[in-house]
Each structure stands twice: as structure tokens, then as C-alpha cells.
Chains A and B, each alone.
Chain A
Amino acid sequence: MARSYIVDDPVKQRFLLDREALVSQLVLAEEMTRIFSKCWIYVGHSSELKKSNEFVTRKVAGRPVIFVRDGRGDIRCFFNTCRHRGAMVCTEPAGTRRSFKCVYHGWTYRNDGVLAGVPGSEAYRGEFDKKDLGLRSPARFEQYRDFWFLNLSADAPSLRDYLGRATDYIDLIIDQSPSATMEIVAGAQEYDVGANWKLMVENSVDDYHLPSTHSTWLNYMANSGVKIERPKEGMVLPTHGLAVDLGNGHFTTDNVNFRGRPVAAWIPIYGEEAKPEMEAIRSELVARLGPERAKRVCDTNRNLVIFPNLVLNDGSSVTVRTFFPDGAGKMHVTAWALGPVEESQAARARRLDAFLTFYGPGGFATPDDVEALELVQQGLANWQDDRWTEMSRGMGREGEQLNSDEHHLRIFWRKWSQMMEVA
């Protein structure tokens, strides 16, 4: 890209974003090359493939892929495209298969990718060799604690190095499980938002919007017996919260909880009968992790962004949320619930119910987020006449950075800008 889309002026303490970055198809095309083809992109979780030969299919960065546990139990990722003429070789969303057969000419691949069958293969001569024609995999495919990512660039750093300090915040989520094993719960929420994908990154960590966008959710909490303090002078939120830079474009909020947490912070919505079990869960956490870390697990909410498009919200419940652009003004969102494998039926039910109090297309908050983002995108039709988005909130603040400022949004945009400007 020939020019910058941000004005980042520490002297004047102003940060402005050129709105063209949110509406331009050319920018989107550049993003697919410079960001989605260079970064580690979330594919799926090991728990989605519990047994050998299980698979799911989905689109990752616009590419249809097969995420599969092969016959030996190894998790793999393949581009869902036949090496012959390109047809997708698997049309089912999920299932159990030892092989994938292309419906077009019948080429058949084992679930470890090997091309096993080519009808009439004697007609191929010369250099044709089935060994060279297995299903293609992304250049890199690695996991961190059951979270699998692909990278389309062979020269990328390792996933572990890429995640860097963000791993501590992933670990905090996994710490909920005594066996350090979390699982994706059945039932995916897949919905489109008529807004640029980067607006979802901002929205996922922007706590400034909570009082105005989510007042009906706050009322619901208050009506349900949740005590919500009035914000202290000069603040917009009931409790203290931070925005934390984790390096490499990753960042998180880290907030003192007020809204209840199904892991072990009781609110009346969970019911009196939940109290003893939740106290037992907390005791186990304290015994296993020590009081300090257990307190972080139980009593802080964290919305974590793994650059560019994975969000792990550990708030009213744990959600794994990823989203991909479909044009400059639209994105596809997929969200799942994550929970400890060993939790009781009652605890799981509580976790899922708590999820729906806030998150998702039928929740008490997410639809208003969607509305806000779509209003932004509609308003951006004026971008040529009203060019600059204001993102200076909290700029120049010394020391701790607040979740209700825009420090973390600026981290995203600086990283984005840096990647888009590389020659």
C-alpha cells in the first residue's frame, strides 16, 4: 500500500483512522494478501475431533478446509479441493470418514490426505504420480493447547512465538479445567454482520460502549439481583478494568468482574442451588492454582484478541469467536461456547444459560453490538465527506491503560497499518 490509513500523533495526542480502510474493496484485497495470508488464523479446537476419523469442514480465510483427525489419531488440515479439477471433496459439515471421494470423477483421498484411488489411472502416463497428488495442506498448521491455527506462509514464526504473551491469557481460560482440558460445546452460532470485519475486533474489546449500547442488558442484570455500582467520578464503568498490550498485535481487557462468572462467581441468575457447587469449584481452583491466580480465573473478565480475527471472551461465559470478511462491508461470524470437559451437568447447563444472557444472536447484548456495527457501516457511506474516525480516547494516559479508553484499539490499528504498509 502506498500510503498510511492512520494518523498517529503522540504530541497532539490524536489518533485518527481514514474511514476508507473500512469501506474499500482494494483494502480488503490487500488484507487477504498481507494479513490473512501472513498471520496465524484460527481453524478449530481439538475437542471438535474427539475420535479418529472425525472431521469438520469450514471456511478459514475464505478457503474451504477439512479439519480432521486421521486414522492414526493425528489432527490435520487440508484444503477442501480435489487435485484433479478442483471440486470440493467433502460436502458434509461434520462426520466420520476414513476417506473423501470427489463426486466429479471419483478421485478418493484417505483422511491423512494420501490420494488412494484414481478411476482409470492406467490412462495417465509420463510423470503422473499419485504420491504427488495428495490433498494439499496449508503451509503451516500448529496448535497451542488444543487451539489449532493455520498459516499460509511457510516462513512465518512458530505459533508459540506468534502468540507470545497472549498465551498467559489463553492459559487463564484453560485453568478453569482441573485436567487442563477444555471442549467446544455442541451448537455453533453462525451469523453475518453487515459491517467491516475490523469493526468486530474493535467492538470485542471496546468497553467504552457498554453503558450506552447495553443499557437494556445492564437493566436485566439489575432486575436479576446483580449489584451494579455507579461508576466512580470520571469513569464510565462500574468496576476497574485494564487494556493490556500483549505484543504482536494481540491485546486483552482485564476487568474486575461484576456480572457473574459461571466458573465461580455467583449471581442470583444461577439460582441458590448453584452456590455449594460454585464454592467447591472455587476451592478447587484456589487449591490448584493458589489464591492469586484463582482470583484472576474467578473474578476477572477478559476479552482477548489474537490478531487478526480470533476473540476469546471469558466473561458471562467463555466464547470462542472468529470472523472473516465477505466483502468490505460484511463479515461471517462463528461463535462457540467453551467449557471444562469434566464439569457437572448442572455446571455445564449454568455455563450455557449464562452465555445466552449476553452473547449471541439471541442474547441480551450481542444483537445491539451488531446493530451498532451495522450503523457504523451504513454511516460510513459518507466516508468521502467525513473522512476521519476519532480514536484518541485515553491517548497520553500514563501507566495503566483503561479498558474504557481506546489504547487497545490503537494497538490493533498500528499492527494492521504496519502489516499493510510493508513494501
Chain B
Amino acid sequence: MSAPVTRAEVEDLLYREAALLDEWKLEEWLTMLTPDASYHVPPNDHPEGDPKTTLFILADDIVRIRERIKRLMSPECHAEYPHSRTRRLISNVRIVGTDGDLVNVAANFICYRYRRYERIREYVGSYRYVLKREGAGLLIKERRVIIDAHELGSLGSVSFIL
């Protein structure tokens, strides 16, 4: 029987993830995911939708997450070359449920994105995670990013890992 998950432990994980993403250490970020992890950004008008029946902005399984990282680390990924500078602030972290070795987590975020000659883009929303207890640590099994804006609009694209 593993120890109960604490908010401090979850916060440590989210802060580490935020640092890796902001620093573009995407290969290292991959090691935080389970081998069956998913990364979803639902459409702004159906934040609770299912990607099997709803057109998402992005719905990756682990295979496509790996492919996405290959793409993002290539200088031929024009939308992210040079890389955006991002800075994400995470707060209101809550453990909203547990189920065996799975933990449901919600958090709020602001992610600022900067590119040369471009306006600042502020992505605001909530993260929904399913974390999985693995030995002494936690891995990310599901990661859903819900953007509060009514439409992507001036945010443009989600060409980086939000």
C-alpha cells in the first residue's frame, strides 16, 4: 500500500513540469509521463468534450506526443522556431479524487507566451490531470488543458506544449 498523495507532492510535480516545459526540456518532460499518457486540449466551445466525438484543438496519445516533441525540437517547426519563450504560473492546486493508484488533480494556470515582434499572448485556464502512483513517485497519465477564452482568437495557435 503506497502512501497517500499530498498536495505538496502534487505541487512539486506540477512545478517541475512547468519548469521543464518553460525551459523546452521536452525529452526530460517525457519521462514524467506514463507509457500510455494522453495530452488533450479540447475546443473552447466544448471544454468537457470527448475527442472521439468532438473536434479538439489537440488530442495526442503517447505516440503522437513523442512525434510532437520531435517536431517541436526541429528547426523546421516554423511556428516554434525560434522557440516561444513561455512562463507559466500554476496555482489553486487541488486533489479532487483518488481511485486506487490514480489521483485526479485540478490546477489553474496562466501561461505567457512571447515571440519576437509579436504581441504577448496570455493563455489562462485550468489543468486537469490523472496522476499515477509509481513506486515512490507520481507519473502523468492524462493531461487536459482547458482554455478559458471563448475562442482561441488572438491566442492564435497551440503550437507549443501548453
Binding site for B on A (CB under 8 A): 93, 185-194, 213, 215-217, 219-220, 223-224, 332, 336-337, 345, 348-349, 352-353, 355-357, 360-364, 366-368, 370-372, 378
Contacts and interface: CB of A to CB of B under 8 A. Distances in A.
A357 B51 CA distance: 13
A378 B117 contact: yes
B134 interface: no
Interface string B49-63: 101111111110000
Interface stretch (B6-14, B100-108, B136-144, B146-154): B146-154
B77 A368 contact: yes
Nearest to B68: A364
A362 B150 CA distance: 17
B45 A216 contact: no
A404 B27 CA distance: 36
12 contacts: A93-B150, A186-B43, A187-B55, A188-B44, A190-B44, A215-B74, A216-B70, A360-B57, A362-B157, A367-B159, A368-B78, A370-B79
Contacts, number: 127
Nearest to B145: A362
B97 interface: no
Given A192-B156, A216-B77, A352-B52, 5 more contacts: A332-B153, A361-B157, A362-B159, A367-B157, A371-B79
Contacts of A219: 70-71, 74
Interface of B: 41-46, 49, 51-59, 64, 67-68, 70-71, 74, 76-80, 117-118, 150-159
A305 to B, nearest CB: 21
A348 B54 CA distance: 9
Contact of A192 (B44, B45, B58, B154): B154
Given A191-B151, A193-B156, A93 B45 contact: yes
Contacts of B80: 367
B58 A190 contact: no
Residue among B68, B118, B150, B157 with max Cβ neighbours from chain A (10 Å): B157
A9 B24 CA distance: 49
Contacts of B153: 190-192, 332
Given A361-B156, A361-B158, A378-B117, A187 B49 contact: yes
A349 B55 CA distance: 9
Contacts of A378: 117
B7 to A, nearest CB: 30
Contacts of B68: 364
B49 A216 contact: no
